[in-house]
Amino acid sequence: MNRTLSILGLALAALTIVPADADARRKSSDEPIAVWELLANDMDRGEAGPIYREIAASLDNVPGVRGDTELRFMPDVRPSEGVVVAQTTAARWLDAAWIAYQRREWSVARALLDDAIALVEPYPHERLPEGIRYQLYLLKARTDIRGGNDFDGREALRAAMALDPSWEASPRWEPEAVVDLYQEVREETIGVPPARISILTSVPGATIMVGGIERGHAKGTQPIELLLPPGSHEITAMRPGYSSHTQTLFLTPRQTLDLEFYLEVKNTARFQEQITRALEEPQGQRRSGVWGALDLALESVASRGVLTGRYDGDTQVLQVGLFFPRRQGWAFYRAIPLGGSDEQSRVDAAIEDLLLTVDRTMHPVAEEVATR
């Protein structure tokens, strides 16, 4: 009971007192929690920034803890708004095209797919959701073929099969016209020997992508070997929290090639996009690599944890997450609706829960003693 009252006292202090000379009074023994910049555009940051800073400032009221805005994962980058829009819009148009395809509305599906392909075309595979370009081309091939446009359907099918050479048109699932054209395209490559690629990465566990499709993971000092059909291929080694490495190659039959990809610990726009998704849908990111990347980031800035947030002015919801190392998720997370007469009470409640989480995590021995 006394323990709970003391924590509530911390929360009350955070809500009523923000000392102007907090930096001067911090002891050298205080452990830092990195406070990263609010993820928002400039207009939204002006709207939600003061509330986010109020929440961040409350960290100073936990004994032995200080919030530190200088501990940034360098270089300081923001998620690319253009690619985020392309990702979400193209995925939405792909879903809409599937509905039109199932309704046999070929012209509607074709228009949606053409627009979606044009939208993602400027971006490399590594910046897009896995396999989305392949899915767009494959559905476009199905749509064109069933809509009577075999020429465009053949070209789209070639593009899809180049992105994922392992795909096969099964008569059980695909229309007869799609299977027939698939067989014609496949016969074009029958008897053409593949190229053999050996890939070694500086980071174990790096994901190897070919044309936006995952093809395996690097394991320690052992290279990963791939057989690829002749032609142009975009090969990427990537791991969250590291810079990615991409090479575009034109392969010839029977070619053998040894590749070495060097990845360094680095903040990237893609990493920021992963954090954005973890704040938007925390439950759906439990198996995401973003948590391991946050571990690396905290190690690089020598911080015990990190507080970050995202605000979308359209929904007027401030999403705040606190991460501590070696976790597969946020230690603290709140989606706080802003606006209305009870806005401050919602913010106050979030601050109270944040302080409880920080105190219990940073002082586990005291918490154990208090519960006995």
CA–CA gap between residue 250 and residue 237 (Å, rounded): 17
- Are 306 and 361 in the same domain? yes
Confidence band, pLDDT 50/70/90 cuts, at residue 28: low
Span between the terminal Cα atoms of the chain, in Å: 12
Predicted local confidence at residue 231, as pLDDT: 85
Q: Which of 272, 232, 234 is nearest to 124 (CA)?
A: 234
Q: CA angle 357-360-361, nearest 5°?
A: 80
pLDDT digits (tens, 9 = 90+) for 41-67: 888 889 999 999 999 999 999 999 999
Residue 81 has pLDDT above 80, yes or no: no
CATH number at residue 250: 2.60.40.1120
Burial 138-170 (b: 16+ CB within 10 A, else e): bbbbbbbbbbebeebbbbbbbbbbbbbbeeebe
Please count the other Cβ atoms lying within 10 Å of the Cβ belonging to residue 246: 14
pLDDT digits (tens, 9 = 90+) for 71-80: 888 666 666 6
Residue 24 has pLDDT above 60, yes or no: no
Confidence band, pLDDT 50/70/90 cuts, at residue 244: confident
- Are 115 and 143 in the same domain? yes
Predicted local confidence at residue 119, as pLDDT: 86
- Are 288 and 349 in the same domain? yes
Q: Which of 75, 31, 212 is nearest to 130 (CA)?
A: 212
- Please identify, among 187, 208, 238, the residue that sits at the C-terminal boundary of a domain: 187
Helix (H, G, I), strand (E, B) or coil at 288: coil
- Are 21 and 39 in the same domain? yes
Sign of CA dihedral 314, 316, 319, 320: positive
- Are 248 and 281 in the same domain? no
Predicted local confidence at residue 365, as pLDDT: 63
Predicted local confidence at residue 369, as pLDDT: 45
Percent of the chain with pLDDT over 90: 41
Element (DSSP H or E) covering residue 335: strand 332-337
- Are 307 and 219 in the same domain? no
Arithmetic mean of pLDDT, 125-150: 87
Predicted local confidence at residue 77, as pLDDT: 61
pLDDT digits (tens, 9 = 90+) for 260-273: 998 887 787 778 88
Arithmetic mean of pLDDT, 336-351: 94
- Are 121 and 159 in the same domain? yes
- Please identify, among 125, 154, 187, the residue that sits at the C-terminal boundary of a domain: 187
pLDDT digits (tens, 9 = 90+) for 142-186: 999 999 998 999 999 988 888 888 888 999 889 999 999 999 888
- Are 164 and 227 in the same domain? no
- Are 162 and 232 in the same domain? no
- Please identify, among 187, 211, 241, the residue that sits at the C-terminal boundary of a domain: 187
Sign of CA dihedral 154, 157, 159, 162: negative
Predicted local confidence at residue 152, as pLDDT: 92
Mean pLDDT of the chain: 84
**Number of domains present in the structure of the chain:** 3
Predicted local confidence at residue 318, as pLDDT: 96
CATH number at residue 367: 3.40.50
CA–CA gap between residue 233 and residue 211 (Å, rounded): 6
Predicted local confidence at residue 76, as pLDDT: 64
CATH number at residue 138: 1.25.40
Question: Which residue range forms the structural domain that includes residue 156?
Answer: 81-187
CA–CA gap between residue 218 and residue 299 (Å, rounded): 23
Confidence band, pLDDT 50/70/90 cuts, at residue 5: very low
Residue 355 has pLDDT above 80, yes or no: yes
pLDDT digits (tens, 9 = 90+) for 182-217: 998 888 877 788 899 999 998 888 889 988 888 888
Helices (H), the chain: 2-16, 22-25, 42-57, 81-102, 106-120, 132-146, 150-163, 176-187, 269-280, 290-301, 343-362, 364-371
Helix (H, G, I), strand (E, B) or coil at 317: strand
Predicted local confidence at residue 368, as pLDDT: 47
Arithmetic mean of pLDDT, 312-332: 93
Residue 2 has pLDDT above 60, yes or no: no
